[in-house]
Amino acid sequence: MKIAIAGKGGAGKTTICATAARLLSRKGLRVVAIDGDTNPNLHSAIGLHGADVAPFLPTSLVSRRFEGLRLTVAVDEVLQRYSAPAPDGVRLVRMAIPEHADEGCMCSAHATVSALLADLGDAADTVTMLDLEASPEHLSRGTARHCDTLLLVAEPYYRSLEAVKLQASLAAETSISRVAVIANKCRQQSDLEAIEQYCHRHNLELAGALRWSNAALDADAQILALLDYAPDDDLVAQVDEVFKRLVKQPTVAVAV
């Protein structure tokens, strides 16, 4: 299964992606976490720092074939050379970032991620988590076209919800089979109700709700993964519950 996570900047995409990736890996799934943001932060949210961080994916790894964009080398070799082991057995991959000002668009970087997703396949025991940038460019570039599910993270205020609506409308024109909303940072019941009403009004599926977490902010301030800073925080349990419903679990969990 391949899950992409998007939404307005600051909505909590990266924290959710990193936390879910580690929790799913703990359940015995093979998890590949891809940072598809040209301003990368998934590594710190997942618990990697400094020399442990994965190298960026070279754009030379992709070629255009009759069936679309594909990698020029075997996907297992790409993961071996351009991923880093993260906590709980997750493999982290990072999209290329701009090296200089005025160098042009990042089309080739997005194409490389798209090709990697295509070649990763759909093994039953494998989950790919793709953390996307706040801009809807990933939809115009087709970065997540090979994902099964696009999760749009919504905060309980108008601009965040409008960003979700825009990305949902664009995603509806792609081959992504499921587009759903995750309500995040709900301080009170009225926050959740506002998101529920918005989703109902615009025919958007609401896949789950996450309450406000001070620990998530504190972990970010300390440059720590939420799971390392506050493993017993309610937000961790809530993310776990949402992704249990989204991802089919293996019959036997593997101890880590």
31-90 pLDDT per residue, tens: 999 999 888 899 999 999 876 788 899 988 988 765 667 888 899 999 999 999 999 999
pLDDT in tens, 199-216: 999 999 999 999 999 999
> CATH number, domain at 169?
3.40.50.300
Q: Are 13 and 109 in contact (CB under 8 A)?
A: no
pLDDT at 250 over 60: no
Q: Are 162 and 150 in contact (CB under 8 A)?
A: no
Parent domain of 68: 2-246
What is the number of other CB atoms lying within 10 angstroms of the CB of residue 221?
A: 9
Helix (H, G, I), strand (E, B) or coil at 136: coil
CA 201/CA 199 separation, integer angstroms: 5
pLDDT at 184 over 60: yes
Give the pLDDT score at 101: 80
Q: Minimal CA–CA distance to 120: which of 162, 167, 174, 78? A: 78
The pLDDT > 90 percentage for the chain reads: 66
User: Can you give the pTM of this predicted structure?
Assistant: 0.90
Residue 168 lies in a domain: yes
Residues 6+ apart with CB under 8 A from 88: 22, 23, 25, 26, 227, 256
Give the pLDDT score at 256: 30
Residue 252 lies in a domain: no
CA 207/CA 149 separation, integer angstroms: 11
How many structural domains does the chain have? 1
Residue 204 lies in a domain: yes
Give the pLDDT score at 138: 82
Residues 6+ apart with CB under 8 A from 217: none
Residue 70 lies in a domain: yes
Q: Are 117 and 124 in contact (CB under 8 A)?
A: no
pLDDT in tens, 130-179: 999 888 888 877 788 889 999 999 999 999 999 999 999 999 998 899 99
CA 225/CA 42 separation, integer angstroms: 10
Query: What is the phi-psi region of residue 89: left when phi exceeds 0, alpha when psi lies from -120 to 50, beta otherwise?
Result: left
Least-confidence region, from 6-15, 99-108, 127-136, 216-225 = 99-108
What is the number of other CB atoms lying within 10 angstroms of the CB of residue 231?
A: 12
Give the pLDDT score at 67: 65
| Length of the chain counted residue by residue | 256
Residue 251 lies in a domain: no
Residue 135 lies in a domain: yes
From residue 3, give the alpha-carbon distance in Å to each of 34, 66, 73. Answer: 10, 25, 23
pLDDT at 103 over 70: no
Q: Minimal CA–CA distance to 239: which of 178, 177, 185, 158? A: 185
For all residues of the chain together, what is the average pLDDT?
89
Helix (H, G, I), strand (E, B) or coil at 121: coil
Residue 6 lies in a domain: yes
Residue 178 lies in a domain: yes
Q: Are 111 and 68 in contact (CB under 8 A)?
A: no
Helix (H, G, I), strand (E, B) or coil at 210: strand
Q: Minimal CA–CA distance to 213: which of 15, 48, 20? A: 15
pLDDT, average across residues 172-188: 94
What is the number of other CB atoms lying within 10 angstroms of the CB of residue 186?
A: 20
Angle at 207 between CA 95 and CA 160, to 5 degrees: 65
